[in-house]
Amino acid sequence: MPIEDKDLLSIQEVRNLLRAAKEAQKILATYSQKQIDKLVEAISESTFAKRVELAKMAAEETGFGCWKDKVIKNVFASKVVYESIKEMKTVGILKEDSEQKIIEVAVPVGVVAGIIPSTNPTSTVIYKALISLKAGNSIVFSPHPGASKSIIATVDIMRQALIDLGAPEDAISVIHQPTMEATHELMTSSDTNLILATGGNAMVKASYSSGTPAIGVGPGNGPAYITPSADIKKAVRRIMDSKTFDNGVICASEQSVIAENSNNLAVREEFTRQGAYFLSPDQADKLSKFILRPNGTMNPVIVGKTAKVIADLAGITIPEGTRVLLAAEHRVGPQYPYSREKLCPILAYYVVENWEQACELAIEILMGEGAGHTMMIHTENQDLIKEFALKKPVNRLLINTAGALGGIGATTNLAPALTLGSGAVGGSSSSDNITPQHLFNIRRVAYGVKELSDIRQEAAATETNPLDNVNQEKLIALIVEEVIKNFK
């Protein structure tokens, strides 16, 4: 019996998918805005109709999170994202400026490679397909092996929606034999025009080193600072809701809490009242051994699990009904698990003297991991918000809201998205919540507004007596003023 080489087969599959996607995109490039919008609407409706089925499938396959919360994420991806993008102009002429004599035209990037994690598989696939199609692109998905069945099922639903409309089904496709080699082939192929990567640091770095333009998003590690002016009951409720939503697998969810000495006791009491449990030093030490693997990466055993399951794994006893585990911490660094990203209901708990210390601690936490991503502040102090806004190395500073849902734009007016750029400080090419507007280029048609003789005449006007500095500066100022007028 011949031995099949899975790696080679997966590489060949990617090449076939990319060729088909390229041909499909050529057809999409001929579509009007109305035709593209019809496709996007069909994808939205078809996936929304299967939101419960896909949520249950993802939860069962991965063992991460809560299927009921995954239904909400599927609704967010299929409906909320759709509603936010449906009126966007993404095809053809975007803008005509008769005064400046410039025309802007949308140009699809081509074929997008969609790298999908196991933590949010179905919702992320729906979201990335919607924003890619809206921009006139085709997309080929590389699924995490631990979530391939649910991802493939989601893609099948969307492909059928395209078939029903007579559109090219290969505008959306997926690798059926996911391997590292297949993902590498997808990211480095000359037929891939842009990578939209969501995952761990290794995957994001690989996307940026592939030689293909990429928008990559790595881990979050957002601290939540509860100031003395905060409504403590609401602040704790928001943090608890966020950290337990889908058992904490959204990267924008809180990873640590910062309180001050002045409100520490009240904050602790409120957390306990709302179902959190503060671990003893011995319990915290035991649990810390399960948060990270020996290589320093997050242990998948705890990802998306309930507090009870995690406690049982660590061999510690917690009160019945515990929703979130908190561990007192004062250290920050890669060797201190509680100061790292934990995609589950575990929080580090820090206490500081004042807002200045909170500010420095937050920076230290974020620069250790999660730079550029997200931070939460619960406060009524507007001046303090501005101080943090000026200094924090994040691109989403969320005020009085749950991190997980605020970061993706569900409880804030940020652009609804499941890919959150961390900017240059976080190693990302964008600091935005990613939308269709990041997935097309703009071709600019620019009319001439002056002749070379005009430029020479302006230059000649500066050839005054070099000793007459005052007069020369006035002339230069007049020329600069004239140039500025041309651009207003």
Residue for token pair 């001929």: 30
Alpha-carbon dihedral sign for residues 431, 62, 45, 37: positive
The H-assigned helical ranges of 280-354 are 281-291, 307-314
Report DSSP state, residue 1: -
Q: For the chain, give the number of residues.
A: 488
Distance CA 66, CA 313 (A): 18
Least Cα distance to 430 among 415, 444, 443 occurs for 415
* SS3 category, 152: helix
Give the position of tokens 């250790």.
Answer: 368
Q: Which residue among 66, 251, 344, 359 is the active-site one?
A: 251
How far apart, in whole angstroms, are the C-alpha atoms of residue 309 and residue 364? Answer: 30
325 beta partners: 277, 346
Return the amino acid letter for 383.
Answer: D
Of 244, 215, 235, the closest CA to residue 423 belongs to 215
CB-CB neighbours of 395 under 10 Å: 24
Verify whether residue 251 is a known catalytic residue: yes
Tell the burial category of 368 from Cβ atoms under 10 Å away from its Cβ (0-12, 13-18, 19+). middle
Rounded distance, CA 53 to CA 71, Å? Answer: 8
150 vs 61: CA distance, rounded Å: 7
In whole angstroms, give the CA distance from residue 1 to residue 81. 49
* Tokens standing for residue 297: 């990466």
Measure the CA–CA gap between 107 and 348, rounded to whole angstroms. Answer: 46
Which DSSP category does 108 fall into? E
Question: What residues act catalytically?
Answer: 251
